[in-house]
Amino acid sequence: MAGASDRVTSRGVTDGRVFPLIAISHGELAELAGGAIARVEPVDGGLTNTIHKVTLVSGEAFAIKHHAGGNTPYDDEVATIAQLAGILPVPEVVRTDARRRAIVYRWIAGITLDECRRNEPPAAFASLAEPLGRFLAWLATFGWTGTWDLASILAQSDAMLGAGRARERLGPQAADALRAAIDGAAPALAWGTPCLSHGDLGGRNMIVQHAMAGRWRIGGVIDWEAAALASPLVDIGSLFRDPTRYDATFLADFERGYREADGALPDGWFRAARLLDALWLVETLDEDRELPGVFADCRKLIAGFLAS
């Protein structure tokens, strides 16, 4: 398990932390890890929670995550990982501490998907396209609790683009163009059976490992606190939020992996998934807070979608 070096929010756009880092004592980390500590390293990459890599004198290594957003995200992540353990590549939970809202995971060796894309040969990154497709096809087979009310989401987005802060920050021309694109794609957005959605799937939440002969594999998918019921296209849109990172061959290999794992995709799946993801960008643009870096990234991503 490795932290990404990009300064990004949980959804792949730039700005400062959502919650300040929590000061955790050496003694508390030792108690949670269950042994004498040889080394403690803060893990970069997330802007919500506080994570440390703790290596014991015995050589065992753990990720210790303290949730800063309250009991619900902590409870949701613990419950989700417990249900997926042994089925999907989720972290192995060693212990939990509800009072401290802390989760101790066994450390997953590897680097993030983002780091692989930036630092490894192009062929290494390309070899992950089919495994990513298979993983998302498997994820789409899981039903989940909750509701996926697309009609309400579309109505909210339309209101934000029509007269909200999102319209002001995006600009009237782009806001109207996005509204038209959403209206025209409504049937495509409603495709599929709602399923378990990671809710924050991106390059920093996927740990990848070298396999053999230049090929790589998914070693683990982390940060399940936002898991919810949603369209199977939601996580695809989140993964491909910045399409400039993926060429046509990568997309074709991803689609092949998805279909070979018995996953179904509609015609025009890539555009529909990106448009669903744009609904989240609109919600972000309507934030009460002023987040200049976030808003600039949202505008850039939406402009790229409208130009495609």
Q: What is the 3-state secondary structure (H, E, C) of the chain?
A: CCCCCCCCCCCCCCCCCCCCCCCCCHHHHHHHHCCCEEEEEECCCCCCCEEEEEEECCCCEEEEEECCCCHHHHHHHHHHHHHHCCCCCCCCEEEEECCCCEEEEECCCCEEHHHHHHHCCHHHHHCCHHHHHHHHHHHCCCCCCCCCCHHHHHHHHHHHHHHCHHHHHHCHHHHHHHHHHHHHCHHHHCCCCCEEECCCCCCCCEEEEECCCCCEEEEEECCCCCCEEECHHHHHHHHCCCHHHCCHHHHHHHHHHHHHCCCCCCCCHHHHHHHHHHHHHHHHHCCCCCCHHHHHHHHHHHHHHHHC
pLDDT for res 17: 63
Distance CA 89, CA 109 (A): 13
Q: Which amino acid type is present at position 144?
A: W
Q: Which amino acid type is present at position 11?
A: R
Instruction: List domains and CATH numbers for the chain.
Output: 26-109 (3.30.200.20), 113-307 (3.90.1200.10)
Phi-psi region of 214 (alpha: psi -120 to 50; beta: other; left: phi over 0): left
Distances (CA, A) of 22 to 25, 47, 58: 10, 11, 26
Phi-psi region of 243 (alpha: psi -120 to 50; beta: other; left: phi over 0): alpha
pLDDT for res 124: 97
- Nearest Cα to 82, choosing from 71, 91, 73? 91
pLDDT for res 46: 65
pLDDT for res 1: 41
pLDDT-flagged residues of the chain (< 70): 1-18, 45-46
pLDDT digits (tens, 9 = 90+) for 240-261: 999 999 999 999 999 999 999 9
pLDDT digits (tens, 9 = 90+) for 197-207: 999 999 999 99
pLDDT for res 301: 97
Q: What is the 3-state secondary structure (H, E, C) of 270-287?
A: HHHHHHHHHHHHHHHHCC
